[in-house]
Amino acid sequence: MQEVQGEKPGKAKKERTPMPEQPAEERRKNFNEVTLGYTKEDALAEASRCLACKDPKCVEGCPVNVDIPGFIQLICEENFEGAIERIKATNALPAICGRVCPQETQCEARCVLGKKSQPVAIGRLERFCADYEREKGVKAPEVMPPTGKKVAVVGSGPAGLTAAADLAKLGHKVTIFESLHKAGGVLSYGIPEFRLPKEIVRQEVEYIEKLGVEVKPNYIIGRIKTLDELCDDFDAVFLVTGAGLPNFMGIEGENLNGVYSANEFLTRVNLMKAYDPEYDTMVRHGKHVVVVGGGNVAMDAARSALRLGADEVSIVYRRGEDEMPARREEIEHAKEEGIIFRLLTNPVRILGDEKFNVTGVECIKMELGEPDKSGRRSPVPVEGTEFLVQADVVIIAIGTSPNPIIFKGSEGLEQNRRGTVVADEETGATSKCGVFAGGDAVTGAATVISAMGAGKKAAKAIDAFLKEK
Amino acid sequence: MILSFVQKICFYSGKCDLMAYRILEKEEIAPSVHRMIIEARDVAKAAKAGQFIILRIDERGERVPLTIADFEKEKGTVTVIYQEMGKTTKQLAKLSAGDYLEDFVGPLGTPADIRKLGTVILVGGGVGVAPIYPQAKAYTSAGNRVISIIGARNKDLLILEDEMEKASSELYIATDDGSKGHHGFVTDIMKKILDSGEKVARVVIIGPPIMMKVGAGVASPYDVEILVSLNSIMVDGTGMCGGCRVTVGGETKFTCVDGPEFDARKVDFVQLMNRLAMYRGEETEAVEKYEAECRCGLH
């Protein structure tokens, strides 16, 4: 819906400017981006809705404290370059955040407009600015004079890239070590092309490199060098090794052929481009696919399986839709594309044929009981309600457990009972001097933006540590 | 051949020293079995017996795990030995010294637990002799008496005979057709030694899964530790994908971080073999397509 132009600035308009997107019928057959981004007119219309609050609550809701009213004001002035500069002052990865951040629970959740109607589409505006800049060509950013201090960042996901950018801007020499052949971490292997085009990730990494950061792919800390050896070579180390090993349910049939962890399935499809026949990557193109889990990863896996040509994809989740940890927008998009939601349902066992191939999943209906430790009502099986869902591919997306490799050959790095690195919430400082940690390696699987927030905080703490050193 | 991304950078920038993964030597050591020495300094420096690497030929290639067959820390080289099977190994066979690999990452997996145990029997079958070789060297230098048994279908397919001779206290050979050494299986010789009453602390068996399964079965009744090294299908090799999972002692383990060596008595070999066959249809198709393209002169 097009906004009426020429209204008085500062006066809130009722309707939020919609984002153009590929129709569901079309996009379910391709891996191109679902949402197409604002045009200049869309952006101006949406930006004019911002009330430019004196005490902006939206900024408080942003883990990296982007000056939201500031950049939106610059959009209103059609100073798009100024707007992106303002965003990049605190956020090194705006093209990514504009696409994958859960704005509805962060900045947009705090927008005062949201109380009476819909909040300003902050995420879409951020994306517009980043895309505008990318089309124009990214300017070489300014960095402070070299401090002579060296920082190692272990992992090139959102936390690592953010910290590396901030530290490089402060004049520190940063080297990122990445175990895979491509930088980006979950942005490269996990989030699908249709939600975050890999070309954008590549360009954001390129921007970080322009700041003087060196990225070393194919380099595994814990194998090529231990953390202790790294500590000898660098003045500080930031551990951002990600969420780790995929969890399985421990039910019968989980090792049958055709059962994937979401990590493996998504890595094959995204990083290794199994959807492109020009690539050698193998992946099973299921006709009947069952995805277990209710998070963003489950949505990504289900929608990817659909695009590989499945006739039917269903999500099996043990709680209800309200309890699903996935973003609203992802759930809506999945529904529009025809993904079936089997809620209050849990797999009991996976069935296979004599050739060890998956044939189906036996499920049971669940009901919600008393709230558990997480505050969510815990699901309880309803006896005698078992039923069979046909499947030739099953994807398990029920979270991850920490990777033990980083702890090999590292003295004095404390881990908690769950195996994640123990780190100070504010600074990322660990029990080992000069070693900081953040992102999923500390919190367990979370969001891109929370990892970036941790990267920002740690960069500040590392800079202070280096100055004192 | 189409230039890989890395080769293009080398070609246009002249900065080839930046690119570490150069093929220094390549030789066909048996029909369709190749040895490749690759310059990969970081990997060579850290490598230990029992570990593996993952390589990728070019941007569109698969990530293929291969066990480290040898390494020289000073020279910064890593040796791999592979048999032409799928498309990638056939493509690898076409590369020669001076070519580059896009990616070469490692060392991966937990190193073999090598210490002084007394007498150790090492059994290698087919290209499984390749990963046995660094173990033979390591067990010998740890002060063990190393009895090695290597085998192949016939004498032409037998690899690393001279190297294994040097690295072991005793070497036995078996071929399925009797063209060299014992006419029969490596496990026959292993059984004979175990029956002889000699005190053996450990048996390490590496080869095709069926050979490891049979070997584990033969050695099981004896009072000896039996280890096998598994080569599962995997993507990242650092625990992230879980594709390499295998049931060991009723528990799901990841070959890449928990292994690749496991207690042979506890490994579910049937599941292992089934999982290795997961993409057999697709693999055959890929090979056929690749060979058709080769005939048309596209490669």
| pLDDT tens track for A303-324 | 999 999 999 999 999 999 998 9
What ipTM was assigned to the predicted interfaces of this complex?
Answer: 0.90
Q: How far is A100 from chain B (nearest CA, A)?
A: 21
The verdict on B203 and B242 lying in the same domain is yes
Please judge whether A220 and B254 are an interchain contact, meaning their C-beta atoms are less than 8 angstroms apart: no
Give the pLDDT of residue B299: 61
E strands, A337-420, are: 340-342, 345-352, 358-371, 377-381, 387-390, 393-396, 400-401
CA distance B228 to B259: 10
Is B241's CB within 8 Å of A261's CB?
A: yes
| Closest residue on chain B to A357 (Cα) | B278
**The one-letter amino acid at A326:** A
pLDDT category of residue B297 using cuts at 50, 70 and 90: low
For A11, residues 6+ apart whose C-beta sits below 8 A from its C-beta are: none
**Measured between CA atoms, how close is B57 to chain A, in angstroms?**
11
* Per-residue pLDDT at B255 exceeds 50: yes
pLDDT at A462: 96
Is A22-134's fold the same as A245-394's? Answer: no
For residue B79, the distance in angstroms to the closest alpha carbon of chain A comes to: 17
Q: Is residue B77 part of a domain?
A: yes
Tokens describing residue A257:
């052929």
Which of A255, A267, A284, A297 is the best mutation test for B, with the most CBs of B within 10 A? A255
Confidence of residue A139 (pLDDT cuts 50, 70, 90): confident
Q: Do B283 and A279 touch (CB under 8 A)?
A: no
Domain membership of residue B292 (yes or no) is no
Closest CA to A441 of A287, A245, A214, A251: A245
Of A181, A223, A267, which is closest to B56 when you measure between CB atoms? A181
d(CA B66, CA A88): 43
Q: Do both B102 and B155 map to the same domain?
A: no
Domain annotation covers residue B281: no
**Cα A174 to Cα A235: distance, rounded to the nearest angstrom:** 10
Chain B positions touching A254 (Cβ under 8 A) are: 252
| Chain A interface residues (partner B, CB cutoff 8 A) | 179-181, 189, 217-220, 223-225, 242, 244-246, 248, 250, 254-255, 257-258, 260-261, 263-264, 267-268, 272-273, 278-282, 284, 355-356, 403-405
pLDDT band at residue B20 using 50, 70 and 90 as cut-offs: low
Beta-carbon separation of A267 and B108 below 8 A: no
* Tokens matching residue B112: 């073999």
> Which residues 97-136 of B have a C-beta within 8 angstroms of A?
102-108
pLDDT the model gives residue B19: 56
For A329-378, what is each residue's pLDDT tens digit? 899 999 999 999 999 999 999 999 999 999 999 999 999 988 878 777 88
- Whether residue B282 and residue A282 make contact (CB cut-off 8 A), yes or no, is yes
In a domain, B76, yes or no: yes
pLDDT at residue number A14: 65
Average pLDDT of span B189-200: 94
Q: Above pLDDT 90, what percent of chain A?
A: 73
The radius of gyration computed from the CA coordinates of chain B, to the nearest angstrom, equals: 19
In tens, the pLDDT along A242-255 reads: 888 999 999 999 99
CATH code: domain of residue B37: 2.40.30.10
Find the mean pLDDT for residues B67-82: 95
- Quick one: pLDDT band at residue A447, thresholds 50, 70, 90? confident
Cα separation, B174 vs A145, whole angstroms: 67
Task: Give CA–CA dist A334/A323, Å, rounded.
Answer: 16
What interhelical angle do A198-210 and A158-169 show, nearest 10? 30
Asked whether the predicted pLDDT for residue B159 surpasses 60, the reply is: yes
Nearest CA in chain A to B88: A280
Establish if B176 belongs to a structural domain.
yes
**Residue B257 is nearest to which of A225, A263, A404, comparing CB atoms?**
A404
Q: Is B45 within a domain?
A: yes
| Number of structural domains in chain B | 2
Q: Is residue B113 part of a domain?
A: no
Residue B298: predicted pLDDT: 62
User: What's this model's pTM, rounded to 2 decimal places?
Assistant: 0.90
Report the distance separating Cα A75 and Cα A131, nearest Å: 13
Put simply, the chain B residues between 254 and 293 with a CB less than 8 A from any chain A CB are: 254, 257, 271, 274-275, 277-279, 282-283, 286
- Compute the distance between CA of residue A253 and CA of residue A335 in angstroms, rounded to an integer: 28
Nearest beta carbon to residue A248 from set B87, B252, B283: B252
Which of these ranges, A76-90, A131-145, B61-75, B78-92, has the smallest mean pLDDT? Answer: A131-145
Q: Does domain A148-242+401-466 have CATH number 1.10.275.10?
A: no
Q: What is the pLDDT confidence band of residue A426, given thresholds at 50, 70 and 90? A: confident
From the centroid of its chain, how far is CA A13? Answer: 31
Residues in A closer than 8 angstroms to B238, CB to CB, are 179, 220, 403, 405
Q: In this complex, do B252 and A250 lie within 8 Å of one another by their Cβ atoms?
A: yes
Per-residue pLDDT for A10 more than 50? no
Name which of A402, A361, A34, A377 is nearest A239 in CA terms: A402
pLDDT of residue B17: 42
Lowest-confidence pick of A45-49, A256-260, A444-448, B210-214:
A444-448
CA gap A85, B115 in Å, rounded: 59
Q: Is B170 helix (H, G, I), strand (E, B) or coil?
A: strand
Return the domain boundaries, chain A. Answer: 22-134, 148-242+401-466, 245-394
Q: How many CB atoms lie within 10 A of CB A127?
A: 25
Q: Which residues of B are annotated as a binding site for FAD?
A: 81-83
Per residue in A209-232, pLDDT tens? 999 999 999 999 999 999 999 999
Q: Are residues B211 and B268 in the same domain?
A: yes
Region A438-456 average pLDDT: 87
pLDDT of residue B119: 96
Same-domain status, B270 and B144: yes
3-state SS class at A39: coil
Cα B181 to Cα B173: distance, rounded to the nearest angstrom? 5
Give the bridge partners for A348, in sequence order.
Answer: none
How far apart are the CA of A222 and the nearest CA of chain B, in angstroms? Answer: 10
| Residue A184 backbone phi and psi in degrees, to 5 | 125, -20
pLDDT at B226 over 60: yes
pLDDT of residue A5: 43
Domain that holds residue B241: 119-276
Cβ atoms of A463 and A265 within 8 Å: the answer is: no
